[in-house]
């Protein structure tokens, strides 16, 4: 192998830069050139890339986001787009590609694998909904961001006798909401995976209100309903004055945590080593604190990682 390529695709997250840096430097240590496509598969289709020599990846480790930038490409989802991407990789004499991203991006990686091109996937999504890895890149930093914000909100909730609904990311995944609820001492977590009974929650909150508790905190995943509707119901049924805070894209940025810097560095290095030893069509994953690899086919066809419902049970028990 003489030349490898890397790209970041889909929603960005903290730790992507650490991963690019580690992959580039591992390649360089093995006398291999690394190039980085800009804006994910869109850059691959436009043949828009930069050479990632050691200096190009210097000073990026501690920065959030991705300096290669990211995008979602509709053209790459078509068979014609995928053929064009393959043509560009072959024309540029790229021997292997590393794709950093969430399920959509790993699906794109699988498409290139099916065309016979050597690809390695790296799971990156704050939703932590990718199977065959206990943690995806960016999750830990997002949780630290969220917890900082929720602790601030708890201070003001305490001062004003209010119930707060805090909406966190996760269109289809309640991982962020349930772990945040445990780590911030919230009364309830509302997640898309578990059916939720508004009237039971209101009764429990009312009971607490009568006991003299002056505030409440509910963490809700964005895909679990409309936070304002829940807030209105609590106000009507319980009596708490309510406020809603939507944390939005704040959650995805910021300097990566130590965990994400290390995870990204490990993932990046491992991806290059896998290509060098002839592996392809696999995703790197973290299981029991060791790195392993799983066929992309299994990752994609197995569907979204299931939420560990014990997290919900735990947040219910601890929130009472």
Q: What is the DSSP pairing of strand 49-51 with strand 33-37? A: antiparallel
Report the nearest approach of ligand F6P to the CB of residue 129 (Å).
8
Residue 71 or 295: the one with the smaller Cβ distance to ligand F6P is 71
Stretch that binds ligand F6P, among 120-128, 150-158, 261-269, 299-307 (CB under 6 A): 120-128
Among 22, 94, 110, 126, binds ligand F6P (CB under 6 A): 126
CB of 253 to ligand F6P, least distance (A): 11
Q: Is 169 in the site for ligand F6P (CB under 6 A)?
A: yes
To 10 degrees, what angle do helices 198-211 and 227-237 make?
50
- Based on the shown chain and the rule CB under 6 A, indicate whether residue 171 belongs to the binding site for ligand F6P: yes
DSSP line for 184-226: HT-SEEE-TTS---HHHHHHHHHHHHHHT---EEEEEEGGG--
Q: CA 23 → CA 9, 19, 28, 201, 216, distances in Å?
A: 16, 6, 9, 48, 45
Neighbours of 261 (CB within 10 A): 22
Who's near 205: CB < 8 A, 6+ residues apart?
163, 187, 216, 234, 237, 238, 240
Is residue 125 close enough to count as binding ligand F6P by CB under 6 A?
yes
Question: What is the residue whose two structure tokens read 């130590």?
Answer: 258
3-class DSSP state of 22: helix
Note whether 64 binds ligand F6P by CB under 6 A: no
With binding defined as CB under 6 A, does residue 146 bind ligand F6P? Answer: no
Nearer to ligand F6P, 12 or 113 (CB): 12
Cβ closest to ligand F6P, residue 50 vs residue 194: 194
In the list 9, 52, 110, 127, the residue contacting ligand F6P (rule: CB under 6 A) is 127
Nearest residue to ligand F6P on Cβ basis: 169
Q: Is 102 in the site for ligand F6P (CB under 6 A)?
A: yes
Task: Tell me the catalytic residues.
Answer: 127
Q: Which stretch, 48-56, 122-130, 286-294, 304-312, contacts ligand F6P (CB under 6 A)?
A: 122-130
CA–CA separation, 304 and 133 (whole Å)? 11
Nearest to 272 by CA among 16, 97, 38: 97
Whole-number minimum distance, CB 2 to ligand F6P, in Å?
34
Stretch that binds ligand F6P, among 41-49, 147-155, 168-176, 238-246 (CB under 6 A): 168-176
Question: How many of the other CB atoms lie within 10 Å of CB of 79?
Answer: 9
Nearer of residues 104 and 118 to ligand F6P, judged by Cβ: 104
Per CB under 6 A, which of residues 260..279 are in contact with ligand F6P? none
Contacts for 297 with CB less than 8 Å, ≥ 6 apart: 110, 113, 281
Q: Does residue 252 belong to the site contacting ligand F6P (CB under 6 A)? A: yes
Interaction of residue 191 with ligand F6P, rule CB under 6 A: no
Cβ atoms within 10 Å of 238's Cβ, excluding its own: 21
**Nearer Cβ to ligand F6P, position 9 or 265?**
9
Residues making contact with ligand F6P (CB under 6 A): 11, 102, 125-127, 169-171, 222, 252
């Amino acid at each position: 192998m003489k030349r490898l390529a890397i790209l970041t695709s889909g929603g960005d997250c903290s730790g992507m830069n650490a991963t690019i840096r580690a992959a580039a430097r591992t390649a360089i240590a093995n006398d291999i050139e690394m190039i980085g496509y800009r804006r994910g598969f869109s850059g691959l289709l436009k043949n828009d890339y930069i050479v990632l020599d050691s200096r190009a990846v210097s000073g990026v480790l501690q920065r959030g986001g991705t300096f290669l930038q990211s995008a979602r490409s509709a053209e790459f989802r078509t068979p014609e787009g995928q053929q064009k991407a393959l043509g560009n990789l072959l024309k540029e004499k790229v021997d292997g590609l590393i794709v950093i991203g969430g399920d959509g991006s790993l699906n794109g990686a699988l498409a290139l694998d099916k065309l016979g091109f050597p690809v390695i996937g790296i799971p990156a999504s704050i939703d932590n909904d990718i199977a065959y890895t206990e943690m995806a890149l960016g999750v830990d930093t997002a949780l630290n961001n969220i917890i900082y914000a929720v602790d601030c909100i708890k201070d003001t909730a305490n001062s004003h006798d209010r119930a707060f609904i805090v909406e966190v990311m996760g269109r289809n995944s309640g991982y962020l909401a349930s772990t945040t609820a445990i780590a911030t001492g919230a009364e309830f977590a509302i997640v898309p995976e578990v059916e939720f009974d508004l009237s039971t929650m209101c009764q429990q909150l009312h009971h607490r209100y009568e006991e003299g508790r002056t505030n409440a905190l509910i963490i809700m995943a964005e895909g679990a309903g409309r936070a304002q509707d829940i807030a209105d119901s609590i106000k009507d049924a319980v009596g708490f004055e309510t406020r809603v805070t939507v944390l939005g894209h704040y959650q995805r940025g910021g300097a990566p945590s130590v965990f994400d810097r290390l995870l990204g560095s490990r993932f990046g290095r491992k991806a290059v080593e896998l290509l060098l030893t002839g592996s392809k069509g696999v995703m790197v994953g973290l299981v029991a604190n060791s790195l392993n690899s799983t066929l992309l086919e299994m990752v994609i066809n197995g569907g979204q990682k299931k939420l560990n419902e014990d997290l919900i049970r735990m947040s219910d028990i601890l929130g009472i």
